[in-house]
Structure 1
Amino acid sequence: MFFSDNKVENFSERDLASLKDRAHFISQLNKRDSDLWNKGSHSDSLGWLGAVDKMLQNLSTIEAFRKEVLNQGFTDVLILGMGGSSLSAFVFKQIADKGQGLNASVLDSTNPDAISAIEKRINLEHTLFIVASKSGGTLEVSAFMNYFYDKLKKIKGPDAGDNFMAITDPGTPMEVKAKELKFCKVFLNFPDVGGRFSVLTYFGLLPAALMGVDVDALLNRAKEMVEACKAEDLSTNPALGLGLIMGALANQGKDKLTFFLPGEFAALGGWLEQLIAESTGKDGKGILPVMGDVKSNNDNYGPDRAFVFYNFSGLLHNQQLNEKSKALKSLGFTVINIEINDVLDLGKEFYRWQVATAIAGAVLGINPFDQPNVQESKDITNSLLKDVNRKLVLEKDEPLAMDSFFKQGQPGDYISILAYLPETAETVKALKNLTADLEAKYKLAVTYAFGPRYLHSTGQLHKGGKHNGLFLMLTCEEQQDLQIPRMPFTFGELQAAQALGDFQALRVHGRRVMQVGLGKDYLGGFEKFLKVNSVPKAFGGAIGGMKRED
């Protein structure tokens, strides 16, 4: 059967019939009727429904700024952001026409080594820094801004602000600070659009334009999806059926929505993780997005899985993905196949998934626009940072064998690797290897994410969703710490406090969490970790929390 261009396999006619009674959900959504979620008023969170039309009207403003930046001789752009503003930038960085824009980097890590690596890679004097924060008070973004502003001030003196622009909501501390520091431009976004729904606003499109993405074409593709999503017929609306199925599958226990994406836009996975997990992971419910590996054995998948396959039509069609999809269909799994023409069709896909996620929230009976548990980790982190005269270190508790820890898992559980490590090619490879090993051995869904990025993404589901996660937190010691100007702590202390803050928040919610310190030679520690499949004292393993040591 088909829902518009979404081919859905192994979803029964009986289940489909039950969804038809909820087709009116799309009418309520398009009317911005907050009763759809039965959780109070959400009129201040539905501005994304009209964002495409607003941004089409502002295309000339974006294009004029893009030309101005290029004419001023900038060669690089560095996006300083967390959550939606950074995750959308990673997608656009991957699909950008490199010859039409600036060299792009994205910073959403507080790891000192990661920050130093970016600083060495760019030409500071010829870099435009985009400071992106909806609230205008995001701790990490403020720290990034302070650090790089002081670097520019040493080079350009009072003209340092010429290298900075801000994207924020009206009336935020960031708007005030940007004017005080004489940023070259401040773009005020729509206050009724939440961060994870902001990809088709200034937060996503300004960085995209500067990178060389054809924002005009992207928005016009998105406009096609906006119009298609007004239909109340399941057979013609590309997002309505998708959202209803997502919610229905989750209610049946098939809540590990596993995505297979072509390499050309694999970064979409991070954006989908935040949108779906942070929107649905609350009140003991939730949908966990999992990024699939086409080489993974199909025997690794349990009945808690459903699958989404993206593929290109025409000459770019990926036959390996096609074969994987057919194999899973033959095994009786629910499989959703979506084809796109080219990467600019992601404009459509951003809007499709926003609508589908909002609809899934209605099916689950949750509010998809809040994040009630995100603040908990932040509060603990802030309390830890108040005492700046002590150093955060790992407790040296008796290590627990990794196998014993993961054998606690039951069918329907999942494993999440939380990596407070520099995001290098070597680290990503090691995490992918570990993910594959754990999935094969324990037959559970396995995800990995870098901290503190996941705190603004899947962290909500970890604490607010079902009690079915097993969390492996990996930390390391930085090679060289970095002081944050005008803040009473270093980046190293900030990241350590964030790791400990989330560790304690997970414990407060009764989650099963194991922490391993890999030391300064974290790749060497990682190699031993994979070889012995346990946590030996030989490379500084530790289970438990962190503590402050005089």
Structure 2
Amino acid sequence: MSDMISVEIVHSPNTDQVDAIVADLVGAAVPSKLTAADPTLWGPDAESEAAIRLSWTTLHETSRPLVAQIAELRAALHADGVDRVVLAGMGGSSLAPEVITATAGVPLVVLDTTDPAQVADALAGDLHRTVLVVSSKSGGTVETDSHRRIFEKAFTDEGIDAASRIVVVTDPGSPLEAASTEAGYRKVFTADPHVGGRYSALTAFGLVPAGLAGADIAALLDGAAQASEELAKDADDNPAVLLAAVLGAAHAHGAEKVVLADTGSGVKGFPDWAEQLIAESTGKNGTGLLPVAVEGPDAPGFVDAGSDATPVAIGPAQGNAAVATAGSLGGLFLLWEYATALVGRVLGINPFDQPDVEAAKKAARSLLDAPQSTESAPSFVDGPVEVHASGDWLPAGTSTVADALRALVAQAPAAGYVAVQAYLDRLDDASTAVLRPELARRTGLQTTFGWGPRFLHSTGQYHKGGHQNGVFLQLTGDSEVTVEVPGRPYDLGTLQHAQALGDGQVLAEHGRPVLRLHLTDRVAGLAHVVRAAQEVSAQEVGR
């Protein structure tokens, strides 16, 4: 993996428009102004938000003191026999650390789920060797607060001083900082409050869990520092300018999807991190770029991308790639952050707010407050699968999962997309992800896959605020495990179910078709759904 960042434009049908966007961005000195944290770049409506969201451009310098602090804490924990790191965090608090540690080849247990079995699996590890990192800007994130409560009780039940095993990352002055200090937790790191969650890879949110797990975070910052010089230049070969121009020009011609495939970059899982950055930053006001993370350059959606999508390689240009981005992980983080902020200007939106994220959270909370009213009778039952459909788009008399899937994709326009949303166990139910390439191959539609509820803190913004041409397949399932949330009137299974229903309700209110398949037996039900997906064809789309 080269340290130098680069953007290679392999082919673009809109060369003149790309050149015009480059000339506009460079002529207005946007890269250097962005580096200098100029909040006026996205217009007056965005200025107040941008004024408190631009410190990420200099994190390669301002985060340096964290390197020694994290190393000192890691050494102290190891001296106590504590070398297993569990991270409780959602969205930007978990996606970057997961990429950093996977790329470094060091273990990190990531809890960005409310699935009781997956949380129980994390609890089953050796708690005497475990430190829990609780990452949340405010502390109010329901998933992360639940994880903290669960682990605090588990430590105590094992005779472990819970406070000595909890490390917190939060914003200065947050309710979580005050509560953590009062509780006497092992260490409280405060991050730069002028950085939004999806731009926080190089803040304490990204560095603390990754560094405690053993990743070389100094090298990560070095890579970003090297890239920063190129990205700040007002020049037509600035990699971020080129990337933003290609994506902006493609969007103007109907290519609102960005298909991301790793092509041997050496970085593990980068498309999953980029998903949140792109979707939350651009997916609003009925416009935006929909990121589609795929399995590789030969995957459906990438190898056969149509005119509604731009295939982007993370690594060397391969196959059908229109653009290729390469460099060190720190450099790639910064490259994509710059390019996303720049494309926000091109699209005429504020890349730093997320106006539609809260809607699903509110709906879930209301369902938790009235648990008896959360479940309606299924439209029908097909073996181990209960079928629930929003609205009235499902034809009367539908009786099989295959026919329900056919009816769902029939609601999608030719340039629409399918979003598969699995509120299941990311470890035990990993084969669920086969549905993404299966549906993409058979329907010809760009197809995304997200684990719930983590995607709610990522692509969930685009689903409600971006182009309204998606259809949604939710997967939920019975669990054999119950995990109570101490101090709360619900268990994790109830919370997970409310999150699925809440998001489905908000999507339906936006006029989007939602099909929820509830697996009464997860193994048999999933096999049944996969077989049903194999019966869908491109002829069903927009029928």
TM-score (norm 2): 0.88
Aligned to 2:51: 43
Contact between 2:35 and 2:58, CA under 8 Å: does it hold in 1? no
1:399-423 C-alpha deviation (Å, 9 max, x unpaired): 5421122022222201100111111
CA distance in 2, matches of 1:440, 1:176: 51
Aligned to 2:379: 397
Tell me the amino acid that sits aligned with residue 364 of structure 1. Answer: L
Deviation of 1:262 after TM superposition, in Å, equals 4.2
1:96-122 C-alpha deviation (Å, 9 max, x unpaired): 243xxxx420001101111111212x2
1:119-173 C-alpha deviation (Å, 9 max, x unpaired): 12x211210100000122111111100011011112236x220000100001112
CA distance in 2, matches of 1:181, 1:170: 16
Tell me the amino acid that sits aligned with residue 472 of structure 1. Answer: L
Deviation of 1:187 after TM superposition, in Å, equals 0.4
Aligned to 1:34: 39
Aligned to 1:196: 198
Contact between 1:85 and 1:204, CA under 8 Å: does it hold in 2? yes
Deviation of 1:82 after TM superposition, in Å, equals 0.5
- SS of the residue corresponding to residue 130 of structure 1 reads strand
Q: Mind listing any 5+ residue stretches in structure 1 that lack a counterpart?
A: 313-320, 330-334, 536-550
Aligned to 1:162: 164
Aligned to 2:129: 126
Residue 525 of structure 2 corresponds to residue 525 of structure 1: yes
Q: Mind listing any 5+ residue stretches in structure 2 that lack a counterpart?
A: 381-386, 388-397, 536-543
Residue 132 of structure 2 corresponds to residue 150 of structure 1: no
Aligned to 2:67: 59
- SS of the residue corresponding to residue 372 of structure 1 reads coil
- SS of the residue corresponding to residue 108 of structure 2 reads strand
Aligned to 1:89: 97
Contact between 1:30 and 1:49, CA under 8 Å: does it hold in 2? yes
Contact between 2:262 and 2:297, CA under 8 Å: does it hold in 1? no
CA distance in 1, matches of 2:287, 2:532: 35
1:252-401 correspondence to structure 2 within 5 Å: 252-262=253-263, 264-292=266-294, 293-296=296-299, 300-311=304-315, 322=318, 324=319, 328=320, 335-340=322-327, 345-388=328-371, 390=372, 392-398=374-380, 400=398, 401=403
TM-score (norm 1): 0.87
Contact between 1:414 and 1:468, CA under 8 Å: does it hold in 2? yes
Aligned to 1:317: none
Contact between 2:5 and 2:332, CA under 8 Å: does it hold in 1? no
Deviation of 1:299 after TM superposition, in Å, equals 7.2
Aligned to 1:455: 456
CA distance in 2, matches of 1:22, 1:448: 33
Aligned to 2:436: 435
Aligned to 1:407: 410
CA distance in 2, matches of 1:464, 1:439: 23
- SS of the residue corresponding to residue 236 of structure 2 reads coil
Go from structure 1 to structure 2 and tell me whether the alpha carbon gap of 1:534 and 1:503 turns closer, same or farther (over 3 Å shift).
farther
- SS of the residue corresponding to residue 298 of structure 2 reads coil
Tell me the amino acid that sits aligned with residue 450 of structure 1. Answer: W
CA distance in 2, matches of 1:497, 1:75: 35
Deviation of 1:180 after TM superposition, in Å, equals 2.4
CA distance in 1, matches of 2:268, 2:81: 31
Aligned to 1:106: 110
Tell me the amino acid that sits aligned with residue 35 of structure 2. Answer: N
Deviation of 1:32 after TM superposition, in Å, equals 1.9
Deviation of 1:534 after TM superposition, in Å, equals 8.9
Contact between 2:5 and 2:227, CA under 8 Å: does it hold in 1? no
Tell me the amino acid that sits aligned with residue 305 of structure 1. Answer: A
CA distance in 2, matches of 1:306, 1:80: 34
- SS of the residue corresponding to residue 248 of structure 1 reads helix
Aligned to 2:25: 22
Residue 187 of structure 2 corresponds to residue 179 of structure 1: no
CA distance in 2, matches of 1:517, 1:131: 31
Aligned to 2:419: 416
CA distance in 1, matches of 2:174, 2:24: 43
CA distance in 2, matches of 1:53, 1:4: 18
Tell me the amino acid that sits aligned with residue 411 of structure 2. Answer: Q
Residue 215 of structure 2 corresponds to residue 207 of structure 1: no
Deviation of 1:5 after TM superposition, in Å, equals 2.5
CA distance in 1, matches of 2:373, 2:489: 13
Aligned-residue RMSD, C-alpha: 2.0
- SS of the residue corresponding to residue 169 of structure 2 reads strand
CA distance in 2, matches of 1:52, 1:406: 45
